[in-house]
Amino acid sequence: NLLDTNRLKDNLKIPTHTHFNTDSDSEIMLQMFASQLLQTDKRRIDSENLFAGLENMYKMTVGGFAFCGVIAGYCIFEARDPHGIQPL
């Protein structure tokens, strides 16, 4: 469960013009991760970009979370908050 979700949403809306359809923590995490990957400005993702994006997300979030994802043609990944509050 993320804390301070309004701040996270506001930080995403301004530079990326992100529109949120729900109040779900999952949607916020997805938008944050997508934003981090877009900042690499690369056509193809690699492990360096993936981990850098996750690390930047860790710095911005407070609370517990766990998620998994698929990047088509590249990898399946899973991540959780740095303190291990939420199990995978």
pLDDT digits (tens, 9 = 90+) for 29-75: 989 988 888 887 777 888 888 999 899 988 989 898 898 989 888 89
Please give the structure tokens belonging to residue 39: 């900042």
Number of domains in the chain: 1
For residue 14, is pLDDT > 90? no
Answer yes or no: is 85 within a domain: no
Residue 15 contacts residue 39 (beta carbons within 8 Å): no
Residue 40 contacts residue 34 (beta carbons within 8 Å): no
- Residue 3: beta bridge partners? none
Nearest in space to 69 (alpha carbons), one of 36, 42, 29:
29
Stated pTM of the model? 0.79
Q: How many residues does the chain have?
A: 88
Supply the range of the domain harboring residue 26: 5-80
- Residue 50: beta bridge partners? none
For residue 76, is pLDDT > 90? yes
The pLDDT score that the predictor gives to residue 78 is: 92
Please give the structure tokens belonging to residue 5: 């979700």
Answer yes or no: is 35 within a domain: yes
